[in-house]
Amino acid sequence: MTQVYNFSSGPAVLPRDVLLTVQAELTDWHGSGMCVMEMSHRGKEFTQIIHEAEADFRKLLNIPANYKVLFIQGGAHFNFSMIPLNLATETSVVDYVDTGHWSRIAIKEARRYANVNIAASNEDRHGSYVPDEAGWKRSDNAAYLHYCSNETIGGVEFPFVPESGDTPLVCDMSSNILSRTLDVSKFGLIYAGAQKNIGPSGLNLVIVREDLLGNARVGTPTMLDYQVHAAADSLYNTPPTFGIYVAGLVFKWLLANGGVPAMEARNIEKASLLYETIDASSGFYNCPIERPFRSRMNVPFRLADEALDDAFLEAAQAHGLLQLKGHRSVGGMRASIYNAMPLEGVRVLSEFMRDFARGH
């Protein structure tokens, strides 16, 4: 099969070594005679899988002992409701930073359950930056402060972790978790859909400080109570077993390849190469994001002549460069270059972009 590079924003590319392991173990996991998809989630085989996955995830992020790791269903969307239901009351004020599409979806949902204060927004400059923290309008008594560390659609990434003081800091890290070093102790809760940097869709990871558990408001559905999942070690119901298995393999792949610090160095190299290609194109391509806030994971760009968009996408596909069309809400192009995207893939894309510009 011809080599292809998949730049999808999610579900996204997985490490080839992981896929080959899945292929080899698909019908018989470690001599059990069973596929992971056939196993009881309470059997000894899957118990080993989920315990190893959690241990490796904790090692990768150096997660402190007073934090729970939860493997649950529903993707990041589930947390848009779970967070206010578990961390706030109906009369609470909750602070949100609006930096793009996913921030706004989270804000819209939180308004169903609490009083939302928009502490800062980047809409004044078309979503192209992260507002200076010094100008944020924070509430004195907020139940928590929420932000999205990387906007997958817009391509804006926080270059810093906000200071929240005694207010629990909550972060949607769906598209950049495990891509850069992180001090988990600065956060009250971190959540991430798996389908970008971790594994298949349908799995959602939560890292939550233990003192924030057990406070769900009366009437919270059982499946939306973090404490229920924590008390059952993520096995209250049948979890997404195959997704957890693949995530565990990704964690082992990361550890074998230098862990998060090594991934961060590679991600800087990949993103720098692609942005340099865009910036050196004499205006043929342009990136709408201000330089200090450009995402290392999701690189949006436009062609100066939008009439060439279809030709660009067709030629890219012919070169084995897939899923480069931008999100329908913003148009243009987008290259998602998560941990599993090799440097060679970005080199091939950059060379293609230069050739296409010369030819047009």
Report d(CA 7, CA 12) in Å as an integer: 7
Nearest Cα to Cα of residue 161 among 97, 71, 65: 97
Helix (H/G/I), strand (E/B), else coil: 257:
coil
Q: Give the chain's length.
A: 360
Among the options 95, 98, 172, 225, which is catalytic? 172
Report d(CA 99, CA 187) in Å as an integer: 19
Residue type, 239: P
Helix (H/G/I), strand (E/B), else coil: 348:
helix
Report d(CA 272, CA 264) in Å as an integer: 12
Nearest Cα to Cα of residue 85 among 215, 208, 207: 215
DSSP string, 322-334: E--BPPTTT-SEE
Angle between helices 44-61 and 259-279 (to 10 degrees): 60
Among the options 29, 98, 196, 252, which is catalytic? 196
Report d(CA 104, CA 115) in Å as an integer: 15
In Å, what is the CA distance from 220 to each residue of 51, 87, 88, 247?
28, 11, 12, 29
Give the list of residues 6+ apart from residue 339 with CB closer than 8 angstroms, or none.
Answer: 15, 178, 179, 197, 254, 263, 266, 267
Among the options 29, 95, 98, 102, which is catalytic? 102
Report d(CA 48, CA 41) in Å as an integer: 10
Phi, psi of 203 (to 5 degrees): -110, 140
Angle between helices 44-61 and 241-256 (to 10 degrees): 40
Active site residue 102: yes
Active site residue 196: yes
Active site residue 172: yes
- Known catalytic residues are 102, 172, 196
